[in-house]
């Protein structure tokens, strides 16, 4: 199972991260300051790093840019109390892979960690995605369920693509909004649910076993077994 | 600014008041000069009349007509009148045609009109002294006062012209003086309009002259500073409450979530836990929205600024809402003219449009119609976005 390094100076937050990721079956190591964190991160034997933006001794941005300079491409999830878009842009520019604003729901954090890990393990560019009898041809931009072609709108196609790329993982509404629409604020309505409901009507036609599942309190998952 | 506005200014009223006051002073001054001059002239005339009367009174009755004729001949300017009348009123000598009625014979001087023998049809104004001589005859000596009357006429004309010109100049000067303060007031009005629209950082213009308007503007500006400070204090209190509550709420949610996962498969308990989490979520959502507002207001976010196509953003937003509108059987249509790209923050713009559409959908009944349109504004590089709701 993956080994994760958590660099976080706030003990409560760190505890929350360690517990939640532990629940998901990850091995978590905790570094409580920037210098220690950087030293460990430079060893390069972690699968992922959760990194606080503001740290004593060495700042989060410095850590991530140092790692990238040394060609260490461990995925980094930046966690920060600064929700400013400029801050987010700075964090991502420095080499962070995702950005989460404090305070966060722990399952959101875990979901993002899983997506980052999955993205990393994906070998090369895929042209076809497959979950059970659902197929997505990224080149022909066509979706099939069994023998029938699904008539999807562009937005629905992107939704389905994201969910299939991260199948069997919990995907939160915020993650969907960020990746499909490309915006980083909370749309604050049940609109994502409406979009999913639509997609569901097309993908999970009566008679077939459903693939899209609601995860209560968190979001959705696309999976064969549930 | 129009005449009515100009005429209401303090400057105009003061100028008008001063010019009226000045006119009054001129009138009083001229009046005094006239009165003094007229009195002096009358006094001299009266003195001459008295002297002449004294001279003629001692001339014997027989020689009096001759003496009168001689006096008339000496008077080359024709300003003296002499008359000697018999007790029955008939003329004995002199250049006065008839004895005027109602002249006291006791030596008092009166101003009356006389008829001269040279021009008997034209009554002439004169000061007249009449005495009854020992013989019973009446001796009348007069002095033409036409000059005095003409002098008065000149004075009256001077009153009129100086008065009306002073008032006219006063009005014009007042209007000219009112122009600057009114322009200042107009500037102040424009700034106040901006402030009322929520741009509390604006300040009234303060000039170099330190005049009363500048002093007032200074006072108002100090007041605005204070209001701005208080507003930001209130806002930061609200923000910090939202901020402080957000962390424990998030922790609460985390604990609830963990509890839910350990609950097992009892559907009733799961549903209850789900409901509690949903409530916490909506609380968090409220706080996030509150903080979002101040975040947007406070930050000078320029990093997100770039050239953006309004039309693309609008299309995205409309397609984002289409399923929801469809579910509510609301027709959502969009029309867009080609417009210039704008330099801005696409994310904020999208958020704004989403809020607009969200409200439109919330308040449109089923079967209604929402029309979103984008068209080029009248001004260069401006665009108008409008949503119309029907039904």
Which residues of chain B does A191 touch, with a Cβ-Cβ cutoff of 8 Å? Answer: 320-321, 323-324, 358
Q: pTM to 2 decimals?
A: 0.56
Q: Domain check: are A58 and A145 in the same one?
A: no
CB spacing of B327 vs A187 below 8 angstroms: no
CA distance A9 to chain B (A): 16
What is the rounded average pLDDT of the residues B332-342? 83
Digits of tens for pLDDT over chain A (226 positions)?
789 999 998 888 888 899 889 988 899 999 988 888 899 998 888 999 999 888 888 888 889 999 998 888 889 999 887 666 667 778 888 888 888 887 788 888 998 998 888 887 765 677 888 888 888 888 888 898 888 888 988 889 999 999 998 888 889 888 899 888 888 777 766 788 889 999 999 888 888 888 999 887 678 999 886 5
Nearest to A185 among B316, B324, B347 (CB): B347
Residue to substitute from B354, B355, B357, B362, interface A, most A β-carbons within 10 A: B354
Residue given tokens 């000697």 in the structure block: B84
Q: In this complex, is the C-beta atom of B91 within 8 Å of any C-beta atom belonging to chain A? A: no
Split into its structural domains, chain A has a count of 2
Which residues of chain B does A184 touch, with a Cβ-Cβ cutoff of 8 Å? Answer: 347
Higher-confidence position of B304 and A97: A97
Q: Domain check: are A113 and A16 in the same one?
A: yes
B192-234 per-position pLDDT tens digit: 998 888 788 888 888 888 888 888 889 999 999 999 899 888 8
A-contacting residues of B 189-208, CB under 8 Å? none
Cα(B178)–Cα(B372) distance, integer angstroms: 49
CB spacing of B303 vs A186 below 8 angstroms: no
pLDDT at B155: 83
Residue B302 confidence class, pLDDT cut points 50, 70, 90: low
Could you list the residue range(s) of the whole structural domain that residue A185 is in? 128-222
Q: Domain check: are A207 and A101 in the same one?
A: no
Q: Is 0.90 exceeded by the ipTM?
A: no
CB spacing of B285 vs A188 below 8 angstroms: yes
CB spacing of A85 vs B327 below 8 angstroms: no
What is the rounded average pLDDT of the residues B166-181? 83
Nearest Cα to Cα of residue A126 among A117, A110, A139: A139
Domains and CATH numbers, chain B: 1-202 (3.30.450.20), 212-298 (1.10.287.130), 305-390 (3.30.565.10)
**Dihedral-angle region of residue A146 (phi above 0 means left; psi in -120 to 50 means alpha; beta otherwise):** left
Q: Domain check: are A81 and A187 in the same one?
A: no
Which residues of chain B does A176 touch, with a Cβ-Cβ cutoff of 8 Å? Answer: none
Q: Domain check: are A17 and A111 in the same one?
A: yes
Q: Domain check: are A174 and A195 in the same one?
A: yes
How is residue B388 annotated by DSSP? E
Query: Of the candidates A91, A121, A151, which is a domain's last residue?
Result: A121
State the CATH number of the domain containing residue A153.
1.10.10.10
Q: Domain check: are A17 and A39 in the same one?
A: yes
What is the rounded average pLDDT of the residues B73-88? 86
Query: Of the candidates A97, A121, A145, which is a domain's last residue?
Result: A121
Q: Is the pLDDT of residue B391 over 60?
A: no
Cα(B236)–Cα(A194) distance, integer angstroms: 36
Which residues of chain A does B285 touch, with a Cβ-Cβ cutoff of 8 Å? Answer: 186, 188
Which residues of chain A does B281 touch, with a Cβ-Cβ cutoff of 8 Å? Answer: 217
Cα(B82)–Cα(B70) distance, integer angstroms: 11
Contact A108, A173 (CB under 8 A): no
3-state secondary structure chain A: CCEEEEECCCHHHHHHHHHHHHHCCCEEEEECCHHHHHHHHHCCCCCEEEEECCCCCCCHHHHHHHHHHCCCCCCEEEEECCCCHHHHHHHHHHCCCEEEECCCCHHHHHHHHHHHHHHHHCCCCCCEEEECCEEEECCCCEEEECCEEECCCHHHHHHHHHHHHCCCCCEEHHHHHHHHHCCCCCCCCCHHHHHHHHHHHHHCCCCCCCCEEEECCCEEEECCCC
Residue to substitute from B261, B262, B297, B324, interface A, most A β-carbons within 10 A: B324
Contact A18, A8 (CB under 8 A): no
Cα B138 to chain center, whole Å?
71
Residue given tokens 């990093």 in the structure block: B303
Which residues of chain A does B270 touch, with a Cβ-Cβ cutoff of 8 Å? Answer: 216
Q: Is the pLDDT of residue B105 over 80?
A: no
Q: Domain check: are A31 and A116 in the same one?
A: yes
What is the rounded average pLDDT of the residues B89-111? 81
pLDDT at B382: 66
Q: Domain check: are A59 and A165 in the same one?
A: no
Cα(B153)–Cα(B142) distance, integer angstroms: 22
**Dihedral-angle region of residue B123 (phi above 0 means left; psi in -120 to 50 means alpha; beta otherwise):** beta
Q: Domain check: are A71 and A148 in the same one?
A: no
How is residue B95 annotated by DSSP? S
Which residues of chain A does B350 touch, with a Cβ-Cβ cutoff of 8 Å? Answer: 183
Two structure tokens written together for B295: 């975040």
Closest chain A residue to B278, measured at CA: A217
Those residues whose C-beta lies under 8 Å from the C-beta of residue B158, and which sit 6 or more positions away, are B30
Q: Domain check: are A9 and A106 in the same one?
A: yes
Pairing of strands A48-52, A76-80: parallel
Cα(A197)–Cα(B27) distance, integer angstroms: 95
Query: Of the candidates A121, A140, A173, which is a domain's last residue?
Result: A121
Nearest to A217 among B277, B285, B354 (CB): B277
Nearest to B323 among A85, A195, A217 (CB): A195
A102-114 per-position pLDDT tens digit: 778 888 899 899 8
Across all residues in chain B, what is the average pLDDT?
83
Give the rounded percent of residues in chain B with a pLDDT score beyond 70. Answer: 95
CA distance A64 to chain B (A): 20
Cα(B97)–Cα(A20) distance, integer angstroms: 138
Q: Is the pLDDT of residue B104 over 70?
A: yes
Two structure tokens written together for B198: 């929520």
B234-283 per-position pLDDT tens digit: 877 877 777 778 778 877 887 888 788 788 778 888 888 888 888 888 88
Those residues whose C-beta lies under 8 Å from the C-beta of residue A55, and which sit 6 or more positions away, are A7, A8, A9, A33, A34, A37, A63
Q: Domain check: are A57 and A98 in the same one?
A: yes
Cα(B67)–Cα(B143) distance, integer angstroms: 17
How is residue B316 annotated by DSSP? H
Nearest to A181 among B253, B316, B358 (CB): B316
State the CATH number of the domain containing residue A63.
3.40.50.2300
pLDDT at A48: 92
Give the rounded percent of residues in chain B with a pLDDT score beyond 90. Answer: 4
Two structure tokens written together for A206: 């009566």
What is the rounded average pLDDT of the residues B96-113? 80
């Amino acid at each position: 199972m993956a080994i994760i390094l958590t660099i976080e100076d706030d003990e409560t937050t760190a505890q929350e991260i360690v517990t939640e990721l532990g629940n998901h079956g990850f091995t978590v190591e905790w570094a409580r300051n920037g210098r220690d964190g950087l030293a460990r991160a430079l060893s390069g034997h972690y699968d992922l790093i959760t990194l606080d933006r503001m740290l004593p001794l060495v700042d989060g941005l410095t850590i991530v840019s140092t790692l990238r300079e040394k060609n260490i491409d461990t995925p980094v999830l930046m966690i920060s109390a600064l929700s400013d878009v400029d801050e987010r842009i700075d964090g991502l520019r420095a080499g962070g892979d995702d950005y989460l604003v404090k305070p966060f729901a722990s399952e959101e954090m875990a979901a993002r960690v899983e997506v980052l890990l999955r993205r990393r393990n994906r070998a090369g560019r895929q042209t076809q995605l497959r979950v059970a009898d659902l197929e997505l041809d990224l080149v022909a931009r066509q979706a099939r369920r069994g023998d029938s072609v699904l008539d999807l709108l562009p937005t629905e196609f992107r939704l389905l693509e994201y969910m299939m790329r991260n199948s069997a993982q919990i995907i939160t509404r915020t993650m969907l909004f960020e990746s499909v629409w490309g915006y980083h604020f909370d749309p604050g309505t049940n609109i994502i649910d409406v979009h999913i409901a639509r997609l569901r009507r097309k993908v999970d036609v009566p008679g077939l076993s459903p693939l899209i599942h609601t995860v209560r309190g968190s979001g959705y998952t696309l999976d064969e077994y549930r | 600014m129009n005449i009515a506005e100009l005429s209401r200014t303090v400057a105009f009223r003061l100028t008008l008041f001063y010019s009226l006051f000045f006119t009054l002073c001129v009138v009083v001054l001229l009046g005094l000069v006239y009165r003094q001059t007229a009195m002096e002239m009358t006094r001299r005339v009266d003195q001459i009349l008295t002297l002449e009367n004294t001279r003629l009174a001692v001339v014997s009755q027989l020689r009096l007509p001759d003496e009168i004729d001689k006096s008339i001949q000496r008077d080359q300017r024709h300003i003296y009148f002499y008359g000697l009348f018999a007790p029955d009123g008939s003329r004995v000598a002199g250049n006065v045609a008839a004895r005027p009625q109602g002249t006291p014979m006791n030596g008092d001087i009166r101003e009356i009109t006389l008829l001269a023998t040279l021009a008997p049809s034209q009554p002439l104004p004169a000061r007249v002294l009449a005495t009854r001589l020992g013989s019973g005859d009446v001796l009348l000596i007069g002095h033409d006062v036409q000059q005095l009357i003409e002098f008065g006429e000149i004075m009256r004309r001077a009153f009129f012209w100086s008065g009306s010109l002073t008032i006219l100049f006063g009005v014009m000067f007042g209007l000219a003086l009112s122009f600057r303060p009114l322009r200042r007031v107009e500037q102040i009005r424009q700034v106040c309009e901006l402030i009322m629209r929520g741009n509390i950082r604006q300040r009234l213009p303060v000039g170099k002259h330190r005049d009363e308007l500048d002093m007032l503007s200074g006072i108002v500006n100090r007041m605005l500073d204070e209001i701005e400070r208080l507003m930001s204090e209130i806002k930061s209190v609200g923000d910090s409450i939202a901020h402080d509550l957000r962390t424990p709420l998030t922790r609460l949610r985390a604990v609830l979530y963990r509890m839910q996962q350990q609950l097992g498969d009892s559907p009733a308990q799961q549903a209850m836990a789900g409901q509690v989490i949903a409530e916490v979520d909506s609380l968090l959502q409220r706080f996030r929205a509150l903080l979002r507002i101040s975040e947007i207001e406070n930050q000078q976010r320029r990093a997100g600024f770039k050239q953006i196509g309004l039309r693309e953003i609008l299309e995205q937003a409309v397609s984002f809402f289409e399923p929801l509108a469809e579910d509510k059987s609301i027709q959502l249509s969009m029309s867009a003219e080609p417009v210039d790209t704008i330099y801005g923050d696409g994310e904020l713009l999208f958020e704004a449009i989403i809020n607009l559409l969200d409200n439109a959908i919330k308040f449109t009944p089923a079967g209604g119609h929402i029309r979103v349109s984008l068209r080029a504004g009248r001004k260069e590089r401006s665009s108008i976005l409008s949503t119309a709701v029907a039904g």
